[in-house]
Amino acid sequence: MERDAIWVGTSWKMNKGPAASVAAANELARMSFPAAIQPFVIPPFTSLKDVCDRLSGSRVAVGAQNMHWQDEGAWTGEISPTMISECGAELVEIGHSERRTYFGETDQTVNLKVHAALRHGLRPLVCIGDTADEYSYSVTNETLARQLKIALHGVSEDDVPQVLIAYEPVWAIGASGRPADAAFVERTHNHLRKILINIAGSSAGSAVKLLYGGSVTQDNAAGYVALPHVNGVFVGRAAWNVEHFQALAEGVIA
Ligand code: PGA
C-alpha cells in the first residue's frame, strides 16, 4: 500500500452479492490508477475472499466493513480479525455511522476493534462524525475529539500512523445527506490534525491519513482533496459503479 498517496476508496455497503462483486473486482484488476492514488474497496463479507483473491497483486487494497474484536468464540453472526486476515484483506472499516446508529457500535467497541485490528496487522479505517443535532448545537469539534481520543486510547505512538481516519458528518452521508462545504471541512480536519498531534506527537500525528466522506462525487472530490489535512476521500454511492470509481480517483488529482 502506498503510504504517501491520496487514498480514494469506497465501501459497497450492503450492495453487490458474490457474482456482482467478482465482476466488479475483475474489472478493477484490469484498471489502471494514477501512481499518486491509493485506491481501496470494501466489499460485503460474502465476497471478501473472492475480491481479495481477484485484487491480490493489483494496486487496489481491500478491506472489510466491520469485525468483532475477539479472535474466536461464541459470538453468533460475527466475523473475527483472524477470519478477515485469512481472506487476504489489509484494511478494516470500524465505526461507520450506520453501525453506530443501527447496530449499537460505541466509542468503546471501536477502541477494542482498533486494538484487535492492529494486533492482526490490519489497518483500521476508523469513521467518526457528528450528527445533525451535534452540528446544529456547534459541538462538532467536541464530538469528534471524544470519538477520536477513545478510538485511539492505548494505541502506541508507533502504531498510530497505521490508523486511517475518515471524517464523515452523519448529516452528509447518504441520499438525504448534503455535502459539507469546503471551508467547514478544512477547519474540521485542521482540528483533527491538532488532536492527533496532541495524542501521538508531531511525527506520528502528522502521518495519519485523514479522509473526508459523505456525499462525495466526481464533481466535489478534487475540491476536498485540495484542502490541507485532507489525505483522501471515502465514497459511497458515487463510486459503486467501478468506472465511476476510476473516474473519481483520476479526477481527484487531475
Ligand atoms: P455516500 O456514503 O457517499 O453515499 O454519502 C458515504 C459513506 O457512508 O461513507
pLDDT tens-digit profile of 77-92? 999 999 999 999 999 9
Quote the pLDDT of residue 254. Answer: 75
pLDDT tens-digit profile of 43-99? 999 999 999 999 999 999 999 999 999 999 999 999 999 999 999 999 999 999 999
**Closest ligand 1 atom number to CA of residue 166:** 9
pLDDT at residue 3 tops 70: no
Average confidence score pLDDT of the chain: 97
Residues in the chain: 254
168 is catalytic: yes
Distance 69 CA to ligand 1 centre (A): 24
Task: Please state, in angstroms and rounded to a whole number, the distance separating the CA atoms of residues 145 and 143.
Answer: 5
pLDDT tens-digit profile of 164-181? 999 999 999 999 999 999
Q: How confident is the model at residue 253 (pLDDT cuts 50, 70, 90)?
A: confident
C-alpha cell, 124: 483500521
Nearest CA to ligand 1 atom 7: 236
C-alpha cell, 127: 469513521
Annotated catalytic residue: which of 98, 134, 168, 186?
168
Show the CA angle centred on residue 113, arms to residues 62 and 208, nearest 5°: 65
User: Does ligand 1 lie within 6 Å of residue 236's CB atom?
Assistant: yes
Q: Residues near 185 by Cβ (< 8 Å), separated by ≥ 6?
A: 167, 212, 224, 227, 230
Quote the pLDDT of residue 1. Answer: 53
User: Does ligand 1 lie within 6 Å of residue 9's CB atom?
Assistant: no
